[in-house]
Amino acid sequence: AMLLDAPGFYLLAVLFAPFLGPVFGIPFAAVLGSGWFFLQSLFHLLAGGGLIFAIGALTGWISVNLPAGAEFTLISIHNAFSWPNLIVAVVGAGLTTYLLVRSPRQKPLVANIAVVYGLMLPLAASGFALTNGTQVNWIGGLVVFLVHLALSIIIAAVLFLVLGLKPAS
């Protein structure tokens, strides 16, 4: 999707992404007071995020060998903060949390699409910008990812509490 700079392929990438359980495991563990589950979810989030960043970086490195004139406009869009993308991530996190509490045995994959869009695309775009050599600020994508992640975790934690999950002690 990044090499072709095609929005439709970005959509396909988001559709094929797995459920981001660690994003919701962190606030779940925090609400329930489980340190081990918190660390486990954090490790899985870092491992998955590192993989996405590395794939973006590999794609950026490959793009250097493309013919001159290839433009990557969507990379700069995902590496910059925008209110609509933040709203998509936060609403997706809220809806996913609600659906998880309502039906814990069923993964809310449709709502997960918004979370993947808000979190993983900026992370992959950041890796791409790092190795592509363009003037796009790769740190901006990391900042966007961290802001979206922090707000998603806060929204999920608040909703877990509001919807009746109580700490064990």
Rounded mean pLDDT of 47-62? 96
Among 16, 18, 40, smallest CA distance to 28 is for 40
Summarize pLDDT for 99-142 with one digit per residue, the tens.
999 998 999 999 999 999 999 999 999 999 999 877 778 999 99
Tell which wins on pLDDT, 137 or 10. Answer: 10
Residue 75: is its pLDDT beyond 90?
no
The answer to whether 52 and 114 are in contact (CB under 8 A) is no
Q: Looking at beta carbons, which pairs linking 151-154 to residues 24 or more positions away fall under 8 Å?
A: 151/86, 151/89, 151/90, 151/93, 152/23, 152/89, 152/90, 152/92, 152/93, 152/115, 152/118, 152/119, 153/23, 153/26, 153/27, 153/93, 154/27
Among 75, 74, 82, 81, smallest CA distance to 129 is for 75
Band (39; pLDDT cuts 50, 70, 90): very high
- Reduce the DSSP state of residue 140 to 3 states and report it: helix
Q: Which residues contact 39 (CB under 8 A, 6 or more apart)?
A: none
pLDDT attached to residue 162: 94
- pTM listed for this prediction: 0.93
Neighbours of 14 (CB within 10 A): 18
The mean of the pLDDT values for the chain is 92
Band (69; pLDDT cuts 50, 70, 90): low
pLDDT attached to residue 150: 97
pLDDT attached to residue 167: 73
Q: Which residues contact 153 (CB under 8 A, 6 or more apart)?
A: 23, 26, 27, 93
Residue 169: is its pLDDT beyond 70?
no
Residue 64: is its pLDDT beyond 90?
no
Among 59, 38, 28, smallest CA distance to 121 is for 59
Summarize pLDDT for 141-162 with one digit per residue, the tens.
999 999 999 999 999 999 999 9
pLDDT attached to residue 73: 83
Query: Which stretches does DSSP call E strand in the chain?
Result: none
Residue 96: is its pLDDT beyond 90?
yes
Rounded mean pLDDT of 54-71? 86
